[in-house]
Amino acid sequence: MAIFTGSGVAIVTPFHDNGEVNYEQFREVIEYQIANGTDSIIVCGTTGEASTLTHEEHIECIRFCVEVVNKRIPVIAGTGSNCTATAIYLSQEAEKAGADGLLVVTPYYNKATQKGLIAHFTAVANSVNIPIIMYNVPSRTGCNILPETAVELAKNVENIVGIKEATGNLSQVARLVSLADGCLDVYSGNDDQVLPILSLGGIGVISVLANVAPKETHDMVVKYLEGDAKAATDIQIKAIPLVDALFCEVNPIPVKKAVELKGLCAGTLRMPLTDMEPGNAAKLEKAMKDFGVL
């Protein structure tokens, strides 16, 4: 059974001006997502600036999110690392904190061979008892999980159940789905490719867009899965200018600005990320107004 079907938000982590995690605003952001139909919360991912959280902050953010959500929807914790031992540690701590599943990115910078990826994901999965979604995003990691590798892992490791596909390569996704033959849940990792991946057999999206358009993102997926492809396509096409604006600078710079514009939380970022360029911020604000979320 899938960890979730529909729209999972790759949720931002709010910070105070001094850089500390703002748990009061974090609670508000979580409640906003649940109230607007989000099907799952993915905490401490790329959009949550996990790379600049200490291990203690990382674990506390997961624990806090699990506590606030209180089983209303699944909470999936980002616990990947380019160090297998660190990924194991974070995964075990997330399981202890009550996460319903894990999102584990491929090792970055040092990368890995396909043999290394099999060893890495197998070791992490064997260290916990909750399900794992692999995260394939070569543009950020320099490392690509080939379809054959993903399927081998899914067939041989019981709790590797899904993959977030952010390669942007629909031919690779099609091959993956063909080889998997139902053994692996596929989620779009790109907000501009939700419908194409659903049409290939995907069951949802792990979304940046959902931070500011949770209802629309949920509706896009659900309408497609319920057979209303026209309504789903209309949402996808209408969202493209906003998606472009949300990625006109490196994620999560624009989405942090977007949640600030919506009054959900401060747009404070941790270095080395810096504030959005004024021209791009104006483009983002216009796109949000045009889409009807501001």
**CA dihedral for 203, 119, 58, 54, sign (positive or negative):** negative
**Residues 6-226, CATH architecture:** Alpha-Beta Barrel (3.20)
The residue annotated as part of the active site, out of 135, 187, 224, 256, is 135
Q: What is the mean pLDDT of the chain?
A: 97
Residue pair 140/108 in contact by the 8 Å Cβ criterion: yes
| pLDDT band of 84, cuts 50, 70, 90 | very high
Q: At what angle do helices 229-246 and 253-261 cross, to 10 degrees?
A: 110
The predicted model gives 164-183 an average pLDDT of: 97
- Active-site residue 135, yes or no? yes
pTM value surpassing 0.95: yes
The residue annotated as part of the active site, out of 108, 155, 164, 223, is 164
Q: Of all residues in the chain, what percent carry a pLDDT higher than 70?
A: 100
**What pLDDT is attached to residue 25?**
98
Q: Of all residues in the chain, what percent carry a pLDDT higher than 90?
A: 99
**What residues have CB less than 8 Å from 279, skipping those under 6 apart?**
none
* Predicted confidence (pLDDT) per residue in 134-151, tens digit: 999 999 999 999 999 999
| pLDDT band of 79, cuts 50, 70, 90 | very high
- Active-site residue 164, yes or no? yes
Over 90: is that where the pLDDT of 1 sits? no
* Predicted confidence (pLDDT) per residue in 107-119, tens digit: 999 999 999 999 9
**What pLDDT is attached to residue 91?**
98
| pLDDT band of 8, cuts 50, 70, 90 | very high
Q: Which amino acid is at 91?
A: S
* Predicted confidence (pLDDT) per residue in 245-276, tens digit: 999 999 999 999 999 999 999 999 999 999 99
Burial class (CB in 10 A: 0-12, 13-18, 19+), 122: middle
* Predicted confidence (pLDDT) per residue in 24-56, tens digit: 999 999 999 999 999 999 999 999 999 999 999
